[in-house]
Amino acid sequence: DVKVTQSSRYLVKRTGEKVFLECVQDMDHENMFWYRQDPGLGLRLIYFSYDVKMKEKGDIPEGYSVSREKKERFSLILESASTNQTSMYLCASSFQGAKNIQYFGAGTRLSVL
């Protein structure tokens, strides 16, 4: 079974803090993705990576950065957390190629106070 693991289910941070969200997959997938999910807006792509050290901006990259130093791990970084970044964050991974299914982690619910 494919496993995509997000390190925290719930996080509470203060405005201005630097926040790291970690995601690890065990299927040797080339692609990894970070989404945020908000009521009424659905899932929106923040960043994705198609190989180690490679990244591409999604639809809403502002206020976020990412790091992919190893194939299995993809980190989302909030340089200076703000209250409008309170959201559910979902990580996904897939093999390259448009026929391949994306597998999702359980999500991290982040609250920024």
Binding site residues, another protein, CB under 8 A: 4, 31, 33, 40-45, 48, 50, 58, 90, 92, 94, 96-107, 109
Sign of the four-CA dihedral 82, 86, 91, 96: negative
Q: What is the spatial distance between Cα 91 and Cα 11, in angstroms, rounded to a whole number?
A: 15
Asked if residues 54 and 46 have their Cβ atoms less than 8 Å apart, the reply is: no
User: Least CB distance from residue 35 to another protein, whole Å?
Assistant: 8
Q: What is the spatial distance between Cα 107 and Cα 87, in angstroms, rounded to a whole number?
A: 10
User: Least CB distance from residue 104 to another protein, whole Å?
Assistant: 4
Nearer to another protein, 29 or 81 (CB): 29
Nearer to another protein, 84 or 97 (CB): 97
